[in-house]
Structure 1
């Protein structure tokens, strides 16, 4: 068992080492002194080495926290029979992912993303330091520079790639807002008019399934259900058809999502009609082919795969649009409105409304629907769950407008009248 030991500071100071008297000491699972890790801690303590001032590092990070994080990294390396001298940044990401999924946690549950990020950060800094000190070979990390709001002001910070996106803090839960459903529908209609039917379809796909931007961009043609599969689902009385997400997913983990049958049919019709013409046009013009499902129908770009920046532009630039709008906000909208109309359908069975059923009922049933949604959504962390449940409790008056989220977004006349 790796152990982080806090020596007697007074005793160490009396021996003439006051500057490092407070520095914890790490021993591995064989009770061996971890020489390089402990040297790193001493240099951090004496400011002989530290991440650049522009690195994203929480102010609350202490030497004890750093030592405990490194101890956890040592245990993970031992479990993988991995020597730190040979560790790459891909190993850091695997370590981070194991914590995010709960594979590497005492309880087998996903850890808070701030915890997973902090541990991966400290392992990254240690390996960067070791490479600088010539204790190992080159350690390659393509750091990026970003603008982030920290303590109320914008700062330029250096961030390691693929760091987990941390959920909104508790202080931001009350500020969580979603657009009115009618705003989303009007925006979709504007996308269709101004950016074309193909971009409209990919935006609808995101809003009606909750897939991430990268998952929509990379979705392969072969994974879309056939006419026969869609008909079979409809014949069985289902309102959704299962669809595999096999490409562009976070961590490369496949999952099956449920696509509304009406949307599945509409996209299938587009695949077998206009899309075939676009692909043929691309091949005739450039001799190229693509297996991406969503391809452009814009003049000059016919048949070219629709990229994430183009989809992002639809969210950011097409008007009229909700005041604060983005692909991530679209995922939130899918989750909340989908659950809201599910609650509305349940309440109608009791000849009531979500408001009439009460806040406790909304909370309890909303929690159950969120559990069911996790498989579709990919991941719903605890803080996001709290945000969604609080929003549901304060937005039940929207149930009528959000009734039938999928039909509503498609502009169904029946939904318009409600």
Structure 2
């Protein structure tokens, strides 16, 4: 995930009065913390009107800040889709890995934690993406081939009645994970499985620490455990923090899967073997506490690793197949489980849990789901609830046969 760093005007002025003209221009950082040179150059040149592209008026500091947020969203989408932004095309409806695909994934909520995005926001993000790609293609940069930056129309806006979440079955995901297990190292397979088991974002999955996994003797009785995470989470994150700690939240984990993670951390052939490689390659350096380590280098995986893993073990259960879809999968199936738990505690039978009364009945379940997921909107939970309603409706039809 790209980060945005905002300069300190006072420190810039202290360094040199000439730098004060740059005080409102954000710096875009790669997930590694390195400066995203092309994106930062674009923001600078657009802010200072070096890159005009037909514009006559300098943008305000607030506008430049919004340009940075919109550009970061586009670059994160490229990363999520495993696309090189230099080669991306305008595309059409049949091309999900294009700018039209980007727009449609925002319109139907697939590229958002907050559900379908408004047309105004989509158009603002597209405008910046188009301008950035046109900037990259222009002389003297020539970072990519020629690009037509005319506005993109006709990507469609999903009507509220059609805002449904397409989710694969548990059997299809289990089959895909079994194929992935054969093709990958245990750390890679478990990191991917953790997304489906807990609803972790990809940056949270690569950043989870071994020290966060409790021993089985500390488990509470029952099918689920709860652990707190903060590495890689959203909210309150300092862009300069190499540990990428954000706002803490609690996640729900199946007891047997949490025990498997604990065993991975201590199995001599798995994480300890990777640690031995790290110590051999980096004598005297502090060993990483990350749970998932590359057995070839002993180092933590990059934020791009989950995307690469989702491209393997073809065929995928659905398209597009990304870590973000894994999070939606967990949310839908977990909401259904929470609703069934709530119904059981209320003394209801399976047939009493009706789609028509689900939202009114399931307030507690929705609240718990939002807490597990972290940043998620009412609109997104409504989509998950619609999926659960449809699932229950189909089950009721089958029971009546």
Q: TM-score range by the shorter chain?
A: 0.5 to 0.7
Question: How much does 1:281 deviate?
Answer: 2.3
Which residue of the other structure, out of 245, 254, 258, is the alignment partner of 2:252? 258
- Pairing 1:42-53 to 2, within 5 Å after superposition: none
Query: Secondary structure of the residue that 1:388 maps to in structure 2?
Result: helix
Q: Which has the larger radius of gyration?
A: 1
Please name the residue that 1:352 is paired with.
349
Query: Secondary structure of the residue that 1:395 maps to in structure 2?
Result: helix
Query: Secondary structure of the residue that 2:359 maps to in structure 1?
Result: helix
Query: Secondary structure of the residue that 1:277 maps to in structure 2?
Result: helix
Please name the residue that 1:294 is paired with.
292
Please name the residue that 1:378 is paired with.
374
What is the alpha-carbon distance in structure 2 between the residues aligned to residue 396 and residue 218 of structure 1?
Answer: 36
Normalised by the length of structure 1, the TM-score is 0.55
Gaps of 5+ in 1: 1-82, 92-123, 401-418
Query: Secondary structure of the residue that 1:256 maps to in structure 2?
Result: strand
Considering Cα pairs closer than 8 Å and 6+ residues apart, tell me whether 1 or 2 has the greater RCO.
2
Deviations 1:306-353 (CA, angstroms, capped at 9, x unpaired): 333332122222134312221111111111101112223444564622
What is the alpha-carbon distance in structure 2 between the residues aligned to residue 213 and residue 171 of structure 1?
Answer: 29
What is the alpha-carbon distance in structure 2 between the residues aligned to residue 85 and residue 322 of structure 1?
Answer: 47
Q: How many residues align?
A: 273
Which residue of the other structure, out of 148, 168, 188, is the alignment partner of 2:116? 168
Q: Does the aligned pair in 1 maintain the 2:25–2:47 contact within 8 Å?
A: no
Task: Give the RMSD, CA atoms, in angstroms.
Answer: 4.1
Residues 84 and 175 (structure 1), Cα distance of their counterparts in 2 relative to 1, 3 Å cut: farther
Query: Secondary structure of the residue that 2:311 maps to in structure 1?
Result: helix
Gaps of 5+ in 2: 1-19, 29-42, 52-56, 76-84, 104-110, 118-157, 238-246, 397-401
Please name the residue that 2:24 is paired with.
87
What is the alpha-carbon distance in structure 1 between the residues aligned to residue 393 and residue 201 of structure 2?
Answer: 28
Please name the residue that 1:321 is paired with.
316
Please name the residue that 2:208 is paired with.
219
Residues 397 and 196 (structure 1), Cα distance of their counterparts in 2 relative to 1, 3 Å cut: farther
Does residue 1:333 correspond to 2:270, yes or no? Answer: no
Q: Does the aligned pair in 1 maintain the 2:228–2:251 contact within 8 Å?
A: yes
- Pairing 1:261-272 to 2, within 5 Å after superposition: 261-272=255-266
